[in-house]
Amino acid sequence: MKLQQEFTDDQQVKITAEFEPELLEQYMHKAARKISQRTRIPGFRPGKAPYAMVLSHVGEASIKEEALELLLDKVYPEMLDEAQIKPYGPGNLDEIKSENPPIFLFTIPLEPEVELGAVEDLREAYVLPKVSEQEVDDFILRARQNSSTIVPLDTPAAEGNLLYVTLEAVDLEPKEGENPDLIKAAPQQVLIPAEAEQRESEWPFPGFGRALIGYNAGENAIITHEFPEDASDEELRGKKVRFTVNIQSVKAMQLPEMDEEFLSQLGDFKTVEELRSAVLKRLETENTAEYDDKYYLDLVDRVRKDAKIKYPPQMLEEEEEQVLHRFEHELSHRNLDLDVYLKMRKTDKEEFIKQEVTPTAINRLERSLIMQALSKKYDIKVTNEALEREISTIVNDLVMSGELQDVQKELGEKKFANAISMEAANRALETAIRKQLRTLASPESLPAEEPEAETREPALPEADESAQEDK
């Protein structure tokens, strides 16, 4: 066996492998015997026909094709051992350069490589934002709104009213070839907030609800707004948009009193102080999770920026498939499929993959490789206690969401158990890696380890679904 290797920039290796001339002839005879086992040749039992008879019956080309397959199955792993290569996945036979002697050209993907930079120099203060009393008040107000009674009004829209509208939006300065129609007769519910309660997250822009104050049912409001380039809705970024809002109805929200009956709907709370304490703990938990996600993601990206990362194209293709599959799964929960979504976005699948799927896949893949490299560098292990804790959390989340039985039925008991164990191991490992990153970046912020205490959380219903409407 003679080998020539050429390593490429995309973490693959091209191997030209030359074998002994008589090797193909040997495998021609093996192939003929195999063909004769599945092909009826008159006068001979299966597998017993002489080579010449098989050659005459099926032709040299068929025997040679079978022989090459058998030969490759035999020599490919031997070639990898000889070349001392650990492939990431299956290689590809690019070309049969010669049949006598057999010379094959392969392209083989290699395992990814990560060379970390000066990780020890990583520094970033960990400053967790505090939950304000106003945030607690807002949370409880939303809970009351969710349990409110909706009463029709014959008066103009005012603060605190809930409007049922249809919304149309037109791009006043569309680029060449773009459809100016952004939204067509979409039904919406708009809650008009008090001026002090306006939020940056209000859709389609902050102040939209208050712009409808004074309008009566049956009237149209025309609102023009120029969106900044960093608007939260990427479909509207940088656009000058005219909204036509048809007011279908104006309704008041009668909020429940903060009495024992209302408190009991949210949980085992006897006093408003107990509720506020539970809400504070819940918001602190959510704030911590949100802050941690951003904090650690920023740290990983800083490590990633200083690292040298190489991986084969097949690895990115697999990640793209996962990203696309997950996106299609999320669409299905909104009763949409990808084709409908792409039509709504006025784009095609190829462009969508190029602009959104591939960048997302690159980020996910490279961050994952960085995490693996950190785990290896610091010899991070997952304890049985951490694994059991994550398994319990995952199963509890499935129970609370009502999805446990559906997932078990879809996967089957064995696959379900394996999937839960795999996800738990990944989560536990990520938690351990995050702790290592924080040890490097902000060691003074690490708390003393304490046993986790159980907290009661308000069991709030989804917005708009719990409000009861008088008809």
394-440 tens-digit pLDDT? 999 888 888 888 888 888 888 889 999 999 999 999 999 999 999 99
Confidence band for 463, pLDDT divided at 50, 70 and 90: very low
What pLDDT, on a 0 to 100 scale, did the predictor assign at position 470?
46
pLDDT tens across 10-34, in order? 999 999 999 888 888 888 889 888 8
Least confident of 51-60, 242-251, 360-369, 434-443: 51-60
Give me the pLDDT at residue 124, please: 94
The answer to whether 146 touches 467, Cβ cutoff 8 Å, is yes
Backbone angles phi, psi at 77, to 5 degrees: -65, -35
Which element (helix H / strand E) includes 136?
helix 133-146
pLDDT for 449: 60
Closest CA to 359 of 310, 323, 311, 314: 323
Has residue 460 got a pLDDT over 80?
A: no
The greatest distance separating any two alpha carbons of the chain, rounded to the nearest whole angstrom, comes to 99
Using 50, 70 and 90 to split pLDDT, how confident is the model at 464? very low
Q: What per-residue confidence (pLDDT) applies to 451?
A: 44
CA angle 294–300–302, rounded 5-degree value: 100
For the chain, the average pLDDT equals 89
Say which residue, 392 or 447, is predicted with more confidence. Answer: 392
Tens of pLDDT, residues 127-149: 999 999 988 988 998 898 888 88
Q: What are phi and psi of 300, to 5 degrees?
A: -60, -40
264-445, CATH topology level: Trigger factor, domain 2 (1.10.3120)
Map residue 164 onto helix, strand or coil.
strand
SS3 of 152, please? Answer: strand
Distance from chain centroid for Cα 339: 19
Residue 459 pLDDT level (bands cut at 50, 70, 90): low
How much is the pLDDT for 155? Answer: 95
Give residue 465's pLDDT: 42
On the question of pLDDT at 219 being above 90, the answer is yes
Backbone angles phi, psi at 233, to 5 degrees: -90, 105
- The strand pairing partners of 159, in sequence order, are none
Q: Which tokens in the block code for residue 237?
A: 């970024």
Q: How far apart are CA 415 and CA 408, in angstroms?
A: 8
CATH topology of domain 2-111: Alpha-Beta Plaits (3.30.70)
Q: How far does CA 396 lie from the centroid of its chain?
A: 21
Q: Domain boundaries in the chain?
A: 2-111, 149-254, 264-445
Give the whole-angstrom CA distance, residue 168 versus residue 109.
Answer: 51
CB 268, CB 186: distance < 8 Å: no
pLDDT of residue 280: 96
Query: Could you tell me if 175 and 259 are in contact, meaning their C-beta atoms sit under 8 angstroms apart?
Result: no
The 3 state secondary structure assigned to 47-72 is: CCCCHHHHHHHHCHHHHHHHHHHHHH
Paired sense of beta strands 2-7 and 220-226, if any:
unpaired
Q: Is the pLDDT assigned to residue 361 strictly greater than 90?
A: yes
Neighbouring C-beta atoms of residue 211, cutoff 10 Å: 16
pLDDT of residue 334: 81
Around 91, how many Cα atoms within 13 Å sit in the side-chain half-sphere?
25
Task: Name every residue whose Cβ is closer than 8 Å to that of residue 350 and which is 6 or more positions away in sequence.
Answer: none
What does the alpha-carbon distance between residue 28 and residue 24 come to, in Å, rounded to a whole number?
6
**Distance (Å, rounded) from C-alpha 439 to C-alpha 283?**
25
Tell me the C-alpha to C-alpha distance, in Å, between residue 416 and each of 405, 408, 410.
10, 6, 8
pLDDT of residue 42: 85
d(CA 229, CA 226): 10
Sequential DSSP letters for 174-211: PPTT--SEEEEEEEEEEE---GGG--TT-SSSTTTTGG
pLDDT at 454: 42
Residue 444: burial class (beta carbons within 10 Å; 0-12, 13-18, 19+): exposed
* pLDDT tens by residue, 64-102: 888 888 988 899 999 999 999 999 999 999 998 988 888
Single-letter residue type at 182: L
> 0.85 cut: is pTM over it?
no
| Cα(437)–Cα(123) distance, integer angstroms | 9
Residue 456 has pLDDT above 60, yes or no: no
CATH class, range 149-254: alpha beta
Place of tokens 């008991």: 413
At 267 the pLDDT is 86
The answer on pLDDT for 468 being more than 70 is no
pLDDT in tens, 271-287: 999 999 999 999 999 99
| Residue corresponding to tokens 């350069």 | 97
* DSSP 8-state code for residue 282: H
In angstroms, how far is the first alpha carbon of the chain from the final one?
85
DSSP 287: H
* CA angle, residues 225, 231, 233, in degrees to nearest 5: 95
Q: Which DSSP letter does residue 357 get?
A: I
Flag whether pLDDT at 195 surpasses 90: no
> If phi over 0 gives left and psi between -120 and 50 gives alpha, with beta otherwise, what is residue 409?
alpha
